[in-house]
Each structure stands twice: as structure tokens, then as C-alpha cells.
Amino acid sequence: MTEDELLSILENLSLSEREHIIEQLVKSEDDIVELLVSIVRNNDGRQSWLAASALSHIEDDRVIPALISALSKSNLSDATQVMLIEMLGDKGDMQVLCPLIKMLNSKNLVVQMATIQALIKLPDNRSILALMTLLEQTESSSLRYTIIEALGDLGISQAIELIQRFRNDEDHHVRRRVERALEKLTQQETR
């Protein structure tokens, strides 16, 4: 099968049909993963997105590096970046940690929020430090309350002092998340 033939299949089927065909192709053709990886790396827009989406359903050692490679492309739409971030977070593999942490520097709030949600699935000192640093630096109240909530949900007791600094934040959503996070963290400490 060629890349063009595979792209034709991906572009002309519904999502459920695509998933079924990819599953069958993975079983029958050894080079299907290589073809999908090649499409992700060498194409733009919808074609790269379709191949990355297909790869996300395949368990193979080549998938995560291909998704990371796709995420590093400079011409991705915000929606594609979010999809790739979610896929990488769902993989739960620590090799995605550093590429995801880099995505916290995105200029797009939606991309940053998706990255925070993905990093929550990979609780590691590096991701926690990155979240705490972003919390200290961001001017976005949406990022502040999302990070505060994440730190509380993860039970990061070393963040208590930092979270307390936002008790009097001008945004009521931030203040509400501060109280919830501190409640969770202090309950955890008393156990």
C-alpha cells in the first residue's frame, strides 16, 4: 500500500469505519505504522491530523515519537495541537512529558489548558514544577484557576503556600478554586 492509497482510505471514511480499517490493516500489513508515521511527518493539515488520529489507536513503539514529531510542527492549527496534546496525555508515557511541558509556553489559551489537563495525567516533579511556575507567572485567570484546581486534585501539598497567595485574587473563579484546593490539600495532610 502507498501513502496516497492510505490517505484515500483515511479521507473517504467515517471515523468508526477508519478505526475499523486501520485495525484490520495493522493486523495484515507490517508497514502500515511506517506509512502513517510518514504521513504525519511529511504532510500538513488534515492529512497529518488523519494519520495522527489513526496512530493514536495503535499500540506500537513508533507511535509516540510520531505524535511528538507532529506536535512540534510549526504550522499546526490550534485544534490539531489540542488533539495531539490530548492523545499524548492519554498515552500516559513519560517520554511525552518534556514535549508537553514545552506546550505550556503556547500563546494560545486553549492549547495551554489542554496541556494542563494532559500533564495532570503525568504527575511528575517536572510537570508539577512547570505548572507551579506557570501559576506564578501567568496573567490569565483561566490558567490560574485551572492550575490551582489541578494542583489540589493531584494532592500537591508543596503547592499550599503558592496557592494561598491567590486567596484574594480579583477573579472569583480563582478564589473559589483556591478554597477548594486548600480544603483538599489540608484534608490530605491530616490523614
15-28: pLDDT as tens digits: 778 778 877 777 76
Contact 58, 70 (CB under 8 A): no
For the segment 3-13, the average pLDDT, to the nearest whole number, is 83
What's the confidence (pLDDT) of residue 150?
94
What's the confidence (pLDDT) of residue 95?
92
What's the confidence (pLDDT) of residue 3?
82
104-114: pLDDT as tens digits: 999 999 999 99
Q: DSSP label at 93?
A: -
Assigned superfamily of 1-122: Leucine-rich Repeat Variant (1.25.10.10)
Does 8 score more than 70 pLDDT?
A: yes
Does 38 score more than 90 pLDDT?
A: no
Mean pLDDT estimate for the chain: 87
What's the confidence (pLDDT) of residue 29?
65
**C-alpha Rg value of the chain to the nearest Å:** 20
What's the confidence (pLDDT) of residue 115?
96
CA nearest 7: which of 61, 45, 62? 45
Does 72 score more than 90 pLDDT?
A: no
Question: What's the Cα-to-Cα distance from 69 to each of 5, 7, 62, 87, 182, rounded to whole Å?
Answer: 23, 19, 11, 13, 38
What's the confidence (pLDDT) of residue 191?
64
| d(C-alpha 71, C-alpha 57), whole Å | 17
CA nearest 36: which of 10, 68, 71? 10
User: Is 145 exposed, middle or buried, given 0-12, 13-18 or 19+ CB atoms closer than 10 A?
Assistant: buried
Neighbours of 18 (CB within 10 A): 18
The least confident of 55-59, 93-97, 106-110, 128-132 is: 55-59
The least confident of 36-50, 105-119, 124-138 is: 36-50
pLDDT band at 30 (very low <50, low <70, confident <90, very high): low
Does 146 score more than 90 pLDDT?
A: yes
- Residues belonging to the chain: 191
Nearest-10 crossing angle of helices 45-55, 3-11: 90
CA nearest 156: which of 179, 135, 186? 186
Task: Give residue for cell 496573567.
Answer: 139
| d(C-alpha 7, C-alpha 39), whole Å | 8
Does 85 score more than 90 pLDDT?
A: yes
Residue limits of CATH 1.25.10.10 in the chain: 1-122, 124-191
Which fold, 124-191? Leucine-rich Repeat Variant (1.25.10)
